[in-house]
Structure formats: C-alpha cells, structure tokens
Structure 1
Amino acid sequence: MVPILRHVIVVVVVVVVVVVVVVVVVVVVVAAATAAVVVLILAVVVVAAPAVVVVVVVVVAAAAAAAVVVVVVVVVAVVVVVLRVVIVVVVGVVVVVAAATTAVVVLILGSNSSSSSSSNSIIIVVIVVVVRVVVVVVVVVVVVHVVAVVIVVVVVVVVVIVVVVVVVLVVVVVVVVEEEEEEEEEA
C-alpha cells in the first residue's frame, strides 16, 4: 500500500475513534444530568416540601441541564470544526504530494528514458496510483463528514430528550404542589 494511503487511513481511524468516544461521553454526561434532575425533582415531590423549595430545585435543575446541553453543543461544534480542518489539511497534503511526485516522475522518465512506449506505460501507472490516492481521500472525506453529521444528530436528539424530560417534570411538580396546597386549604 502506498505510504500516503496508509497515513490517511490511520488518520481517519483515529479521528473516527475520537468522534465515537466524544459521542459516547456526550450521551453519558447528558443522560447522567437528566437522571440527576429526575432524582432531585422526584425526591422533592415525594418529601412534599414547600412550594418555594420545589420551584427553586426545579429552576436549579433546569439551569444545570441547560448548562450541560450548552457545553455539549459547544464541544461538539468545536470537534466538528477541528475535524473538518484536519481533513482539509490531509487532503491538501495528499493532493500536493501526489501531484509533485507525478511531475517529478514524469520529468525523470521523460529525460532519461530511451523508449517512449515504456516511459508512457510508467507514466500511466503513476497517474493511476495518483487517481487511486485521490479517490481514497475523497471517500475518507465523505466518511468523516457523515460521522460529523451523525454526531450532530445524536447531540440534537439528546438535547431534545433532556428538554422534554425537564419540562414534563416541571409540569408534574407544579401540578403536585398545587394539589397538595388545595388539600391543605380544604383540611
């Protein structure tokens, strides 16, 4: 395998692994934050604390969840940007090196070769290799962009889940508190 291809594949593997790890960490962190919010709010509801305490806990929990979501979105955005920059740099280096290598080989063969047919066949082989390198790089770029899109979709889904859970719990807490206050007034 051409050394450049090997380097490109190694870079892609490393990038994809990093992306997967980031997605897993994001999901775990957001899920843990959501679970913490659920536990806090349910604990307050079960204890039947005063309405002011419930509201304070709900606001703090919602703020914490929102902060986690913002941090996650920023981290993913940075990762995607860095990912694209790395891929653009790799593609640029591969294309420049391939073009320079082809030019040098063509010049050397054109000046030293006595047989035009053999030099032409060697030039064709070099061009084929360069084309393969470019194709591999293009495939790598597409794969990496797909991975980036997957990350964004996962983050959006997690954010939606967190927001829905927090909103539902806030509504539940408000309803429970109002019912308890009505029961106390009737009693």
Structure 2
Amino acid sequence: MFIPVFLVAALLIFLPFSTNQEFLRNRARANTPAGEFNAGARLVQSGYLPRGTTSTAGQGNLCVGIQFATYARRNSGQLGVHWSQPGRTNRWRVESSELEDNQFKYFCPQDGIELDSGFEIAVIGIDGKSGHSPTAWLTADTSLGTVRVNGQPRGKSLVLSFAARKHVTAARILRTNHGAFALGLLLSVIIGLVALLSMKQHAAESA
C-alpha cells in the first residue's frame, strides 16, 4: 500500500503549474495602509512602467501584483480591480475572503502589459463593510507613480510587483539544470523504494 502511494506522490511533482517571476517592484519604505476598501472606496494610481532591465520581462505573460493586507482577519465583500494602458483596459472582481495578509495578488491582463508606457490601476470597494474589508499597502517609493484615495492625493504609491507568469511543464522540469534535477529525483525515489521494501521485509520476518 505504501509503495504505490509513495510513487504517486513522487510523480505529482511533474504536474504542470504556473509561477510568477518578478522583474520589477517598488521598495517598501515607510509603508502605511491605504484604509479599508469599504463600499464606494476608490484608490487610483497613475504611473509609468519602465522597460525591464532583465530578460525575464520578455518571457511569459506579464502580470501586476498588489500587496493587500487583511488586518489579520477573514474579510467579506468584493473588490474591483481595474488596469488600463493606452488602448487597453482590463477589469477583475476579487473576493475579499480569498486575499492573504501582506501577500501580493497578481492580475494578468488578457491583452498584455506594455513596458515603457504609462498605466493606471484602481482598486474599488464594491460592497465591503467597516471592520470586514481589506486594505492595500502604500509605500513612500513613488517610482511607479502616486495614488489618490477617494480623490485625495496621498503622496505615496501602491506596493506593486510586476512579474512574468510562466507555465511550467513536465518537460521543462526534466530539463532543469540540464537534467540534474531529474537525476536527483530518480535517485531519491530509488532510495525511498529500497527503504520501503526493507521495512516491508523486516515486518514480514517479524510477523
């Protein structure tokens, strides 16, 4: 029983998955919360997205991440997130209960993100209530623009992360480090099987 379970668990590592490889982020500096996204709350940031300095930006679908905060509680209600650049606009609805405290939530526009271009990003409270709504972190690093909260300039920026989302397949996993990862995994599986078989034989002899 244990051997089939062990083999299945070892093979799960080859299931395809997606990962975000960050290539640009503004710095955390004198961070403060933007305030709860209650119903009607509106945060808008205008900024400029420079061309990435690494090759990562040219690979995969580009995404923008917002660092939300939940006040260490489970919130309710929905948020609207809008992303726009010249000639392209994308909108998402987010369940507040699905946000993780102090973690980035990534949004990947269907029509892409243009580097070396201006952008506007907005977070809007749809139906949240006071004491049950999340917020987002603001930083004094305004290299990616500045926010207005309910129409009032705050002199700060959303903590933003830009990343390339890559789809990792079993073939790519096998090629990692020129096959060294696959070889290491194979050896680990063999060692594990030998250990399980030894345990099984010892149990049979003791019975």
Q: Which of the pair has the greater relative contact order for Cα pairs under 8 Å at 6+ separation?
A: 1
Select the structure that is richer in strand: 2
The TM-score bracket by the shorter chain reads under 0.3
TM-score normalised to the size of structure 1?
Answer: 0.25
More helix by share: 1
TM value normalised by structure 2: 0.23
